[in-house]
Amino acid sequence: MGNTLAGLLVLADGTTVRGAGAGAPGVAVGELVFQTGMVGYQETMTDPSYLGQLLIFTYPLVGNYGVGPTMSQSARVRARGLIVHELVPSSGHRDSTGDLDGLLREQGVPALAGADTRLLTRHVRTAGVIPAALAVGRLAELPAVADLQAQARAFDYDAGDFVTECSTPALVWHPPARPEAPRVALIDYGAKSSSYEHLIARGAGVWLVPAQMPAAEVLALRPDGVLLSNGPGDPAHLSYAVDMVRGLLAAGPLPIFGICLGHQLLALAAGARTTKMRFGHRGVNQPVLDVATGRVAITTQNHGYVVDPGSVPATYRVTHTNLNDGTVEGIAHTAQPFWSVQWHPEAHPGPQDTHGLLDRFLRIVEEYHA
């Protein structure tokens, strides 16, 4: 963990937590959130949906099976900083190529170890997500608490466009396994690699599409279906993304499936509203009810905004709800193949209860292609 380093976390409300420093020395400012998964720390922290955030792991032991290239969901760690109770040295898992502390150092990400993560999690659950500043360095060189609090107070997560930061800058084409296979346009708002790997593994051709590409240019690719990916930030501030989805919806019966942020953008394009949650859903154990069948699935989720159920237009129906708090977890058009879910059916990490949703999407795409 680097015994010569100390760590200091200061929230915008003045709450202060000290501990050991880990990862890279420096200061990171972001929205403080917590994640409840017991495993999958590398997949979690490399998920682009955590851009702009400081991430608390509620499970007390983090790092015990190391890190490896097959587990990352993007090219680098996306969370701005980590807060853990105990940063454990790698025990040498067969798939690991290094340890978590080393990865954080390499990528310039600070971490606080030895923190009372239960206290911090309870604080976030009570007060809601809150800006915070994390400093790691030699004890005598750490910034003053007042300076870190000022940085935290100046940070406005809701005003940022984090999608532009993590979306592909150019169109990327992954050819299909067979020339006659369907082609999918995956709109990259911060897509996890497992999303397009799932489609490619099933033979589909996949365009990875920049988030700011206009709808007309997406349609010019002549895709057989569109997948709206997960991603970070407030969907209500992504007017260019909403306009693009609205243009796709207006084009007719082209199958469109939204995941996480993509779900929220589909809802906004359809005329619904989104609101910010107190502390969001971040973990691998969220129970979701299928309204039509009564079946329950345990899902992986990572979001801080939700679709307002009272704003869903009459042309759409709510298909899924969260059993913990009743929030909207899915919508579908009553006549067109437009639908979305709030969770991550591709998992990584998490249960694979709903992997079949991506297969269902591909079946609909294949029917459209035929």
131 and 170 assigned to the same domain: no
For 208-229, b/e burial (b = at least 16 CB within 10 A) is bbbbbbebeebbeeebbbbbbb
Tokens of 347: 């998992």
Number of domains the chain contains: 2
pLDDT tens-place string over residues 95-106: 889 999 999 999
Per the domain annotation, does 1 fall within a domain?
A: no
State the distance between the two ends of the chain, measured CA to CA, in whole angstroms: 56
**Structure confidence at residue 1 (pLDDT):** 43
Q: Which domain-ending residue is among 157, 187, 211? A: 157
145 and 244 assigned to the same domain: no
> Residue 166 catalytic?
no
Percentage of the chain beyond pLDDT 70 is 99
Per the domain annotation, does 75 fall within a domain?
A: yes
Decide: 263 and 341 in contact? Cβ < 8 Å: yes
Distance CA 11, CA 14 (A): 5
CATH of the domain at 116: 3.50.30.20
CB atoms within 10 A of CB 155: 17
Decide: 202 and 180 in contact? Cβ < 8 Å: no
Per the domain annotation, does 140 fall within a domain?
A: yes
Q: Is residue 48 pLDDT above 60, yes or no? A: yes
> Residue 260 catalytic?
yes
65 and 179 assigned to the same domain: no
171 and 151 assigned to the same domain: no
Tokens of 48: 């682009």
Find the range with the poorest average confidence among 72-86, 143-157, 213-227, 353-367.
353-367
Q: Is residue 346 pLDDT above 80, yes or no? A: yes
**Structure confidence at residue 352 (pLDDT):** 85
Q: Which domain-ending residue is among 138, 157, 176? A: 157
45 and 170 assigned to the same domain: no
324 and 187 assigned to the same domain: yes
Q: Which residue has the higher pLDDT, 206 or 3?
A: 206
267 and 365 assigned to the same domain: yes
15 and 142 assigned to the same domain: yes
221 and 103 assigned to the same domain: no
Q: Which domain-ending residue is among 125, 157, 189? A: 157
Q: Is residue 354 pLDDT above 90, yes or no? A: no
When pLDDT is averaged across residues 77-81 and rounded to a whole number, the result is: 98
219 and 244 assigned to the same domain: yes
Per the domain annotation, does 167 fall within a domain?
A: yes
Of the candidates 31, 260, 281, 333, the residue annotated as catalytic is: 260
341 and 279 assigned to the same domain: yes
Tokens of 220: 């010019």
Q: Is residue 2 pLDDT above 80, yes or no? A: no
Per the domain annotation, does 193 fall within a domain?
A: yes
pLDDT tens-place string over residues 227-276: 999 999 999 999 999 999 999 999 989 999 999 999 999 999 999 999 99
Instruction: Please give the backbone phi and psi of residue 27, each rounded to the nearest 5 degrees, phi first.
Output: -120, 130
Three-state secondary structure readout of the chain? CCCCCEEEEEECCCCEEEEEEEECCEEEEEEEEEECCCCCHHHHHCCHHHCCEEEEECCCEECCCCECCCCCCCCCCCCCEEECCEECCCCCCCCCCECHHHHHHHCCCEEEECCCHHHHHHHHHHHCCEEEEEEEECHHHCCCHHHHHHHHHHCCHHHCCCHHHHCCCCCEEECCCCCCCCEEEEEECCCCHHHHHHHHHCCCEEEEEECCCCHHHHHHCCCCEEEECCCCCCHHHCHHHHHHHHHHHHCCCCCEEEECHHHHHHHHHHCCCEEEEEEEEEEEEEEEEECCCCCEEEEEEEEEEEECHHHCCCCEEEEEEECCCCCEEEEEECCCCEEEECCCCCCCCCCCCCCHHHHHHHHHHHHHHC
Q: Which residue has the higher pLDDT, 31 or 70?
A: 31
Q: Domain residues for 129?
A: 6-157
Of the candidates 31, 43, 329, 346, the residue annotated as catalytic is: 346
> Between the CA atoms of 309, 328, 197 and 35, what dihedral angle is there, to the nearest 10 degrees?
130
**Structure confidence at residue 94 (pLDDT):** 85
Per the domain annotation, does 21 fall within a domain?
A: yes
Name the average pLDDT for the chain.
95
Q: Is residue 3 pLDDT above 80, yes or no? A: no
User: pTM value?
Assistant: 0.95
When pLDDT is averaged across residues 163-182 and rounded to a whole number, the result is: 95
Per the domain annotation, does 243 fall within a domain?
A: yes
Q: Is residue 16 pLDDT above 70, yes or no? A: yes
CATH of the domain at 330: 3.40.50.880
Per the domain annotation, does 123 fall within a domain?
A: yes
Q: Is residue 17 pLDDT above 60, yes or no? A: yes
Of the candidates 123, 263, 344, 348, the residue annotated as catalytic is: 344
240 and 360 assigned to the same domain: yes
Closest to 187 measured CA to CA, from 97, 133, 258 = 258
Burial status of residue 326 (CB atoms within 10 A of its CB: 0-12, 13-18, 19 or more): exposed
pLDDT tens-place string over residues 108-121: 999 999 999 999 99
